[in-house]
Amino acid sequence: MEEKEILKWAKEAASEFELAGNVKNIRPYGSGHINDTFLVEGEKDCILQRMNRNIFTKPEEVMDNILGVTTFLKKKIAEAGGDELRETLTVLSARNGKPFYRDSQGEYWRMYYLIEDAVSYDRVERDEDFYESALAFGNFQQLLADYPAETLHETIPGFHDTKARYQVFLDAVEADVCGRAENALEEIEFFKSRKETACVLGDLLAEGKMPLRVTHNDTKLNNIMVDKETRKGICVIDLDTVMPGLAVNDFGDAIRFGASTGDEDEKDLSKVSCDLRLFRIYTEGFLKGCKGNLTDMEVAMLPMGAKVMTYENGIRFLTDYLQGDTYFKIHREGHNLDRCRTQMKLVADMEKKWKELEEIVRECQEAESKMR
C-alpha cells in the first residue's frame, strides 16, 4: 500500500477515536519497522498505529495484553506517587468502546497519548543511556512482579522456546531446500555442538526452578522513552510482545544487542566481542531496577540468559539462511549468514569470559543488596 493511501486510512482511523480537541495534522512518525506509525497533532498529541497482522495474527489478544498490563502499571505508578501519563502508555478507546478500531479493510488501529518531552535513541550514545535502559527494563520487571503472567496471551507462540527453535533449525538442515547447507557446515556444527544451550532455561522453568514472569521480549534501547531534559529513562514502550516468559531472557537479549562491540551484521568478526564494561553497566542498572524481585536462581542465570538469547538468534539467522531468507530482511547475498556468524562469535566470546561474567553478576548483586 502506497504512503498516500495509508495516510488516507490513518485519517479515517483517527476520526474513530475519542480525541481531545480537533485534529490539526497527521504524519508518519518514528523509525519502527513492524507497524505503520503516525503522529496525530491536536490539542493533545497522540500516536496512531496500524498493527502488522502478518506478525501479530491475533491483534485483539495483543491489545488485551497491552490494556491489562498498562492498567496494572498505572495503578502501581499512582501508588508510588509517579506520573501515570508519562511512565506508561495510555491506551485510548475507540468510539466503539474497544481499545482498537477495525477499518473496512480488516486492518486494526490503536492510539496512545504521546509521551511528551521525551525521545528514544536507536543506538547507545553514552554509557548512561545503556544504564538507563537497564534501569527502566528492570523497573518494568519490578512493577509487574505480582502480575499473573499466566493470564497473558502468547502473542507470538514459542517466541523464546529455544528448544523448539533448535528443532526447526535441525529440520531446515535436513531439508536443505536451497542447497545452502554445504556453505554453512562450520556454522551448523557450532550450534549442534552446543545443543544443551537450547534446553537449559526451558528445563529450569519446567522443573519449577525459575518463575514465569511478564516479559517485554524486545529490550532494545529504542523501546525506552527518555526525558529530554534529564535524559532519564521514564517509560517502556512497544508492548506488542509482552508475554509470559523468563526475566533472564529480557536481560539476555539486551546484552546480546547492546553489549556487543560490533554491529549485528558485521563481516569483520575481529570487531565483535562481549564488552565486559557494558555488561557490568547493564547488570548494575537491571538489578537496581528490579529492586530485589528476582530469585537467586534468576540472578545466577543472567549470564546464561545472555548466552541463550545470542545462541537463539544465531540459529534463527542460520535457519532463515537455509530456508531462503524468508523472515529477516536482507540487503546483500549471505546477509543472514553474516548475522549468524556475529552471534557465534559473541557466544564463543561469552564462553571464554564466563567466569568474569559470573563474577560481575555476583559483585553487582552484592552491591545492590547492600543498597537496599
C-alpha to C-alpha distance for 217 and 149, rounded to whole angstroms: 13
C-alpha to C-alpha distance for 130 and 112, rounded to whole angstroms: 26
pLDDT of residue 266: 96
Helical pair 59-79 and 127-143, crossing angle rounded to 10 deg: 90
pLDDT of residue 57: 92
C-alpha to C-alpha distance for 178 and 334, rounded to whole angstroms: 13
Three-class secondary structure of residue 22 per DSSP: coil
pLDDT of residue 253: 95
Q: Note whether 216 and 137 are within 8 A (CB).
A: yes
Cell matching residue 217: 521480549
C-alpha to C-alpha distance for 205 and 32, rounded to whole angstroms: 32
C-alpha to C-alpha distance for 343 and 321, rounded to whole angstroms: 14
Dihedral Cα 167, 172, 175, 179, nearest 10 deg: -160
Handedness of CA 23, 116, 139, 203 (dihedral sign): positive
pLDDT of residue 135: 97
Q: Note whether 259 and 279 are within 8 A (CB).
A: yes
Domain ranges, ordered by start, for the chain: 3-114, 127-371
Three-class secondary structure of residue 263 per DSSP: coil
Helix, strand, coil % in the chain, rounded to nearest 5: 50, 10, 35
pLDDT of residue 126: 87
Q: Which fold has domain 127-371?
A: Aminoglycoside 3'-phosphotransferase; Chain: A, domain 2 (3.90.1200)
In the sheet that holds 36-41, the strands lie side by side as 25-28, 36-41, 46-50, 108-113, 101-102
C-alpha to C-alpha distance for 262 and 135, rounded to whole angstroms: 23
Q: Classify domain 3-114 by CATH architecture.
A: 2-Layer Sandwich (3.30)
C-alpha to C-alpha distance for 68 and 196, rounded to whole angstroms: 35
Cα within 13 Å of Cα(293), Cβ side: 21
Helical pair 302-323 and 247-258, crossing angle rounded to 10 deg: 70
In this structure, how many other beta carbons lie within 10 angstroms of the beta carbon of residue 116? 12
pLDDT of residue 55: 84
pLDDT of residue 2: 64
- The series of mean pLDDT values per 10 residues for the chain, 372 residues long, is 78 85 83 83 92 91 97 97 96 94 94 93 85 96 96 92 96 97 97 97 96 95 93 95 96 95 95 97 97 97 98 97 92 96 98 98 94 78
C-alpha to C-alpha distance for 39 and 59, rounded to whole angstroms: 21
Cα angle at 219 between 349 and 252, to 5 degrees?
A: 30
Q: Note whether 274 and 342 are within 8 A (CB).
A: no
pLDDT of residue 6: 82
Q: Note whether 335 and 258 are within 8 A (CB).
A: no
pLDDT of residue 118: 94
